[in-house]
């Protein structure tokens, strides 16, 4: 016993060292972002705006962004669960460091804390289903899975990293020794992930499906499904009441609403009844659970028939064509570039081979575990292939099988007397550590043009222009969608729209105005009471508008054919930002 405790302590220390090493790697690859001190992208910027509003007195349940599409504002679907750690750290550090430095520290610390939670969970799961050396390798290589590492890097404070952590906790909980406890933890983790964003719904359903199969396979594991669904229902109710307002919750289909919760409560009630009265009859159990699932769907469809389709089905055609369908992270894998896709596909292929091998070699309960893991791996991979941002979830499930491969390849390379086996082992290690090797080699041999999926430039070089713009009388600024969050963060002004879908009408107005003539733009500006126009030529959003409408307002502004009713606003050190004041008719 005396020797066991130091070993456990060393394991915890090694996990901590893996996290520190990962943090250093993430800091190195985001050094330019750290130097600028700005959030990673428009979503992260608007998240900081939301946190600032909360800290300056906006209500906890008030999710409106009043400076988008004024005077009504836009109700955001984002969760206070993600705002909370950022706001808490800023509030704690502001008296010591000042507001600006406290925000900077939070932008770095919160994503790295999220990364730490993921590493700790992977370490626990790895030592539970494999062994501690393999678990440590998985912790060290977590930064190699780019779709995952990007979501956990400094200055990235959007919700995707927390969702990855919730999913990882849910998967790890399925390996708990006590099925009821594991199911409950998985249910609560999925509830938190769903309240953060509805994007986790397919994965929560996949976990539920795996637990249903496990229930049918072994009555000893029946309690897992019950505990999962009951904890999911209870967690949804509790977290919803703590973080969301009931006012207007049923008006949208892009976030958990009472209709979703009601359907899960129906499922929980049905599973509970099946446990109590049908435990000895497998056929009756199956029939009852299928009927319960159908009843839950009927209840949801009755309560929210408008939500049976896609939550983005009501987008304006302009918004869908020129914004929604062009967001790279929402596109399928075949719309991405090789530089982005090939490394992850290499990891997916290697990890799939490893999971299949582990499943074939396992026996008894271990074989059942790897069977479930394989199903979840396939489900997350399929989701990631269809929606690129979901590839982070598949990357989570790649870590343990890739770590197992790393260990086997290293042992083969060191110990095998066969040169052929050592060569294959070295090649495998190189592919895991440098999965973009094939595409880099291909680009060296056959250089090609950059694809639009990788061409997105979300940075506008503004120098000190925002500080000067903030001194102008507050007003409504007409600007590109990707520029809007920066204006909100650095000035007191409002904007017509940002790239967030609930501002559907306002986004359509921005796109239509950039595509339309200057005369039509003047009418729109008058109707909306717009005071300024802000324009950044090097954002790729403008390239899209110019190509679609060579005679439109966007093309005019790029070519310096500025309408005479726009008066330049002199801004020192403005970089590529240009601002005009709208002249009012006498």
Residue range 487-525, pLDDT digits in tens: 999 999 999 999 888 888 999 999 999 999 989 999 999
The dihedral formed by the CA atoms of 249, 252, 253 and 255, expressed in degrees to the nearest 10: -50
Report the alpha-carbon distance of residue 50 to residue 59 in Å, rounded: 11
Q: What pLDDT, on a 0 to 100 scale, did the predictor assign at position 77? A: 86
Cβ-contact 533, 579 below 8 angstroms? yes
Cβ-contact 223, 204 below 8 angstroms? no
Handedness of CA 283, 286, 289, 290 (dihedral sign): negative
Which residues pair with residue 64 across a beta bridge? 75
Q: What is the pLDDT of residues 39-60, one digit of tens each?
A: 888 899 999 999 999 999 999 9
The dihedral formed by the CA atoms of 79, 82, 88 and 89, expressed in degrees to the nearest 10: -160
Cβ-contact 329, 389 below 8 angstroms? yes
Report the alpha-carbon distance of residue 191 to residue 232 in Å, rounded: 5
Q: What pLDDT, on a 0 to 100 scale, did the predictor assign at position 3? A: 47
Burial class (CB in 10 A: 0-12, 13-18, 19+), 145: buried
Report the alpha-carbon distance of residue 180 to residue 226 in Å, rounded: 8
Q: What pLDDT, on a 0 to 100 scale, did the predictor assign at position 462? A: 75
Q: Where on the phi/psi map is residue 106: left (φ > 0), alpha (ψ -120 to 50), or beta? A: alpha
CATH number among 1.10.3720.10, 1.10.3080.10, 3.40.50.12610, 3.10.450.50, domain 465-582: 3.40.50.12610
- Spatial neighbors of 571 by CB under 8 A, at least 6 apart, are 465, 468, 469, 577, 579
Cα 336 to chain centroid, rounded: 17
Q: What pLDDT, on a 0 to 100 scale, did the predictor assign at position 1? A: 44
Q: Pull the structure tokens for residue 139.
A: 């912790």
Question: Taking Cα atoms as reference points, which of 404, 461, 460, 456 lies closest to residue 428?
Answer: 404
Cβ-contact 86, 47 below 8 angstroms? yes
Cα 236 to chain centroid, rounded: 19
Q: What pLDDT, on a 0 to 100 scale, did the predictor assign at position 250? A: 66
Q: What pLDDT, on a 0 to 100 scale, did the predictor assign at position 8? A: 54
**pTM attached to this predicted model:** 0.91
Q: What pLDDT, on a 0 to 100 scale, did the predictor assign at position 432? A: 84
Q: Cis link prior to 454 (omega < 30° from 0)?
A: no
Report the alpha-carbon distance of residue 170 to residue 202 in Å, rounded: 13
Question: Taking Cα atoms as reference points, which of 125, 170, 168 lies closest to residue 145?
Answer: 168
Cα 300 to chain centroid, rounded: 26
Q: What is the pLDDT of residues 258-278, one digit of tens each?
A: 989 999 999 999 888 888 776
Cβ-contact 48, 107 below 8 angstroms? yes
Q: What pLDDT, on a 0 to 100 scale, did the predictor assign at position 493? A: 95
Q: Where on the phi/psi map is residue 364: left (φ > 0), alpha (ψ -120 to 50), or beta? A: left
**208-241 as b/e: b if 16+ CB within 10 A:** bebbbbbbeeeeebbbbbbbbbbbbbbbbbebbe
Residues of the chain with CATH 3.40.50.12610: 465-582
Q: What pLDDT, on a 0 to 100 scale, did the predictor assign at position 441? A: 54
Backbone angles phi, psi at 309, to 5 degrees: -95, -160
Tens-binned pLDDT, residue by residue, of the chain (586 aa): 444 455 456 899 999 999 999 999 999 988 988 988 888 888 999 999 999 999 999 999 998 999 999 988 998 888 999 999 999 999 999 999 999 999 999 999 999 999 999 999 999 999 999 999 999 999 999 998 888 888 999 999 999 999 999 999 999 999 988 888 999 999 999 999 999 999 999 999 999 999 988 888 877 777 888 899 999 999 999 999 999 877 766 667 888 889 899 999 999 998 888 887 766 677 887 888 888 889 988 888 888 888 877 777 778 889 888 888 888 888 888 888 888 888 889 999 999 999 999 999 988 888 989 999 999 999 999 999 999 989 999 999 999 999 999 999 888 888 878 888 888 888 888 888 877 766 555 555 555 544 444 444 556 777 788 888 999 999 999 999 989 999 999 999 999 999 888 888 999 999 999 999 989 999 999 999 999 999 888 788 888 898 888 889 999 988 888 888 899 988 887 778 889 999 876 5
Question: Taking Cα atoms as reference points, which of 226, 169, 212 lies closest to residue 192?
Answer: 169
């Amino acid at each position: 016993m005396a020797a066991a405790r130091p070993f456990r302590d060393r394991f915890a220390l090694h996990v901590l060292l893996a996290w520190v090493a990962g943090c250093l790697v993430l800091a190195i690859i985001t050094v330019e972002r750290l130097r600028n001190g700005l959030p990673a992208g428009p979503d992260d910027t608007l998240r900081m705006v939301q946190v600032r509003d909360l800290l300056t007195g906006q209500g906890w349940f008030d999710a409106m962004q009043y400076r988008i599409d004024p005077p009504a504002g836009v109700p955001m679907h984002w969760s206070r669960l993600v705002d909370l750690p950022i706001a808490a750290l800023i509030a704690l550090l502001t008296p010591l460091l000042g507001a600006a430095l406290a925000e900077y520290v939070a932008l770095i610390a919160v994503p790295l804390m999220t990364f730490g939670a993921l590493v700790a969970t992977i370490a626990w799961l790895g030592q539970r289903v494999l062994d501690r050396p393999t678990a440590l390798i998985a912790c060290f290589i977590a930064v190699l899975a780019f779709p995952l590492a990007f979501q956990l890097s400094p200055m990235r404070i959007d919700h995707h990293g927390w969702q990855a952590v919730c999913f990882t906790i849910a998967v790890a909980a399925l390996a708990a020794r006590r099925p009821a406890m594991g199911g409950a933890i998985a249910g609560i983790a999925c509830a938190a992930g769903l309240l953060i964003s509805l994007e986790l719904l397919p994965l929560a359903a996949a976990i539920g499906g795996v637990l249903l199969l496990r229930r049918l396979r072994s009555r000893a594991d029946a309690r897992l499904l019950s505990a999962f669904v009951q904890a999911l229902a209870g967690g949804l109710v509790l977290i919803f009441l703590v973080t969301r307002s009931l006012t207007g919750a049923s008006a949208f289909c892009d976030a958990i609403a009472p209709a979703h919760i009601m359907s899960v409560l129906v499922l929980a009630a049905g599973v509970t009844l099946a446990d109590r009265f049908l435990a000895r009859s497998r056929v009756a159990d199956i029939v009852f659970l299928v009927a319960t699932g159908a009843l839950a769907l009927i209840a949801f469809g009755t309560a929210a028939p408008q939500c049976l389709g896609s939550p983005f089905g009501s987008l304006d055609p302009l918004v869908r064509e020129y914004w929604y369908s062009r967001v790279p992270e929402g596109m399928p894998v075949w719309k991405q570039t090789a530089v982005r896709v090939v490394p992850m596909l290499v990891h997916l292929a290697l990890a799939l081979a490893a999971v299949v091998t582990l499943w074939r070699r396992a026996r008894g309960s271990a074989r059942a575990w790897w069977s479930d893991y394989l199903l979840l791996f396939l489900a997350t991979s399929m989701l990631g292939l269809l929606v690129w941002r979901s590839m982070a979830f598949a990357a989570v499930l790649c870590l343990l099988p890739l770590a197992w491969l790393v260990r086997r390849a290293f042992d083969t390379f060191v110990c095998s007397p066969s040169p052929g086996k050592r060569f294959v082992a070295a090649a495998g290690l190189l592919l895991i550590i440098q999965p973009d090797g094939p595409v880099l080699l291909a680009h060296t041999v056959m250089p090609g043009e950059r694809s639009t999926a990788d061409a997105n430039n979300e940075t506008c070089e503004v120098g000190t222009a925002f500080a000067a713009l903030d001194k102008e009388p507050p007003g409504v600024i007409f600007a590109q969608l990707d520029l809007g969050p920066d204006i909100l963060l650095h000035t007191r002004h409002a904007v017509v729209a940002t790239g967030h879908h609930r501002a559907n009408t306002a986004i359509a107005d921005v796109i239509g105005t950039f595509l339309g003539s200057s005369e039509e733009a003047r009418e729109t500006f008058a109707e909306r009471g717009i005071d300024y126009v802000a324009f950044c030529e090097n954002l790729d959003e403008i390239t899209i508008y110019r190509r679609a409408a060579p005679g439109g307002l966007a093309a005019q502004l790029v070519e310096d054919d500025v309408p005479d009713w726009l008066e330049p606003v002199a801004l020192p050190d403005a970089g590529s930002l240009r601002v005009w004041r709208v002249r009012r008719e006498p």
